[in-house]
A = this chain, B = another copy of it.
Amino acid sequence: MSRISLFIVDDHQIIIDGLKGLFGPLEDFIICGEANDIESATNGILNLKPDIALVDIRMPNGTEGLKLLQWVVKNKLDTKVVLLSMHHDVRLIQDAKNWGAKGYLLKNTGKDELFHALRFIVDGGVYFYEAKEEKQQQEVVFTPKELEVIRLIVDGYSSSEISQKLSISDETVKVHRRNIRNKTGTTNTVELINKLVELGFPY
């Protein structure tokens, strides 16, 4: 099997150089190109057809890394996009997944984990960073009434509809919803649903 070709996109040259140093000694990787901005990146990726594009998700004008990802997806290129970020941003990760990114890694990821992730992705896997603390501190416990409300929320019922089904005031339903949001650390219904899925909620 030939070497895994990487294309690096980052507006900080220091990051690119650092990655070069990391991958240099490795036999099974080769950095085939680099770019500091979207335009250069699109050209480079079109011409070099790398196996993987390692893209900084945050560049000068907002989350341009996502735009590059979208460009790759829209043009149906074979290059797998792996995003690099400084922070663990749940929404950005979700965005990346939705757009078909193959990975999301923190810039302070250890080099061994980085190598492992990229090899895994080339083999057809996906590799998304998930904060481990969250998984542990998550022990959301709902009250029986909250569970009844949740089961109706996820079906798409409004608060007034729920209040009728449960024979309580819609104001009370709102209180339950507020408490449920607070317990789950979410701010709207869609986030709540995503959180419930994440929690493996059996609905």
For residue A155, which residue of chain B has the nearest CB?
B94
> Would B98 and A203 count as touching, CB distance under 8 A?
yes
Interface 9-mer from A17-25, A76-84, A105-113, A187-195 = A187-195
Distance between A161 CB and nearest chain B CB, rounded to angstroms? 9
> Would B190 and A156 count as touching, CB distance under 8 A?
yes
> Would B154 and A190 count as touching, CB distance under 8 A?
yes
CA distance A190 to B97 in the complex (A): 20
Interface SS of chain A: helix, strand, loop or mixed? helix
Query: Does any Cβ of B come within 8 Å of A3's Cβ?
Result: no
> Would A188 and B158 count as touching, CB distance under 8 A?
yes
Query: Does any Cβ of B come within 8 Å of A127's Cβ?
Result: no
Which residues 142-164 of A sit at the B interface, judged by CB distance below 8 A?
Answer: 144, 148, 151-158
CA distance A99 to B203 in the complex (A): 7
> Would B203 and A155 count as touching, CB distance under 8 A?
no
CA distance A74 to B143 in the complex (A): 13
> Would B193 and A190 count as touching, CB distance under 8 A?
yes
CA distance A153 to B158 in the complex (A): 18
> Would B155 and A99 count as touching, CB distance under 8 A?
no
CA distance A186 to B97 in the complex (A): 24
Give me the 10 closest cross-chain CB pairs, A-B, nearest first. Answer: A156-B191, A156-B190, A98-B151, A94-B155, A98-B203, A156-B188, A91-B155, A189-B190, A95-B155, A156-B194
Give me 5 A-to-B residue pairs in the complex whose CB atoms sit less than 8 angstroms apart, sorted by A's number: A74-B144, A91-B157, A97-B203, A98-B155, A193-B193
